[in-house]
Amino acid sequence: MFVRSVFIILFTIGISGGAYGQAAPKPTPPGSDQEQGPVTTFIRRVRLPITVLDKKGRFISGLTKGDFQIFEDKVPQEIESFSDETDQNVQLYVGVLMDTSPSQAGKLRFEQEAAMNFIQTVVRPRRDRVLFATFDDQITLRQDFTDRLDLLDKAVNDVNKLGKQTALYDAVWQFCNEKMRSVTGRRVLVVITDGEDTYSRADMRNAVDIAQRTETTIFAISTKAGLSSVVPGVEMGEVKDEKDRELLRLAEETGGTAFFVGDQVSLERSFTKVSHELRSQYLVTYKPTNDRYDGSYRKISVKLASHNDLKIRTKQGYLAKADNVRP
């Protein structure tokens, strides 16, 4: 299956299959025959949001279609469409998922303020759409896709209770499967969490697979170190253990990145960096030369014809499964 890249911002929010705000059943992880309905549309194009950075981490603009070389399993691919940061026609769908598990006690108020500041920055009225949700032992959709800041502000500020567990991977899987696959445009998830999953049926590999298949890009903002003082053994900005590495993989394998924050200022800066990146990306589409839906993993690499000193960030591959993701 060929999938489009989507960005996901996780703030730990759950999605309800029925009425919003109710507990949602645990999703069946990818690979099950019951994971989705009948396949109606095969994705025959791969779309890559691409970030280009210099050695100091600054976004590079002004590149053209001819600067990029796309490879799938080391085979060159022909670029069919190309747009840069100046193209205002590409619609952006952002899911903001906020962790409301017990580990977020003492952090909730500032996370809400930072999330709302981010939403106000990233939304272009009458163009982009943002969804807000929370996740703990329940996955709750607080506000479906909208460009109305008043509705989003109310949804964010109405969160006042914490749950009992953390279903991080279930939340990612369910939002990609139920929300991201049905929208057009660029898809992003921004997740705010400490990265400690204690309740999911899905695992990290399931979450990466569904994000790649629905072409969703994930940005993770880890609050593990706390927001007022550094927790002993956890330093700001550093990957310390397996859970940190899994959160980093979840983001990087879908084309995003993870931020490990240790204070309120760094949290705000992380949101600002995500917002700037979404406005600084190139968007490339190609039709794979290998058009078989055989379930194999297709590795993607992107190179620049010149500018070897620049760094490229995009999703690393996808599983070639037929799917019903919208173009």
Within a domain: 83? no
Q: Tell me, what's the pLDDT at 82?
A: 94
Q: Which residues pair with residue 68 across a beta bridge?
A: 304
Within a domain: 231? yes
Q: Are 275 and 190 in contact (CB under 8 A)?
A: no
Within a domain: 251? yes
Within a domain: 39? no
What residues make up the domain containing 92? 6-30+88-281
Within a domain: 245? yes
Our count of domains for the chain comes to: 1
Q: Tell me, what's the pLDDT at 28?
A: 55
Within a domain: 211? yes
- What beta strand segments (E) does the chain contain? 6-10, 46-53, 68-72, 75-77, 79-83, 92-99, 129-135, 139-146, 186-193, 216-222, 258-260, 282-286, 297-304, 311-313, 317-319
pLDDT (tens place) for every residue of the chain, 327 residues total:
444 444 445 443 333 333 344 344 455 554 444 444 444 445 578 989 999 999 999 999 999 999 999 999 999 999 999 998 778 778 899 999 999 999 888 889 888 998 999 999 898 888 999 999 999 999 999 999 999 999 999 999 999 999 999 999 999 999 999 999 999 889 999 999 988 899 999 999 999 999 998 999 999 998 887 665 444 433 445 676 888 899 999 999 999 999 998 788 888 899 999 999 998 999 999 999 998 989 899 999 999 998 889 999 999 999 888 776 666
Within a domain: 46? no
Q: In this structure, what CATH number is given to the domain that contains residue 132?
A: 3.40.50.410
Within a domain: 149? yes
Q: What is the pTM assigned to this prediction?
A: 0.84
**E strand or H helix at 122:** helix 108-122
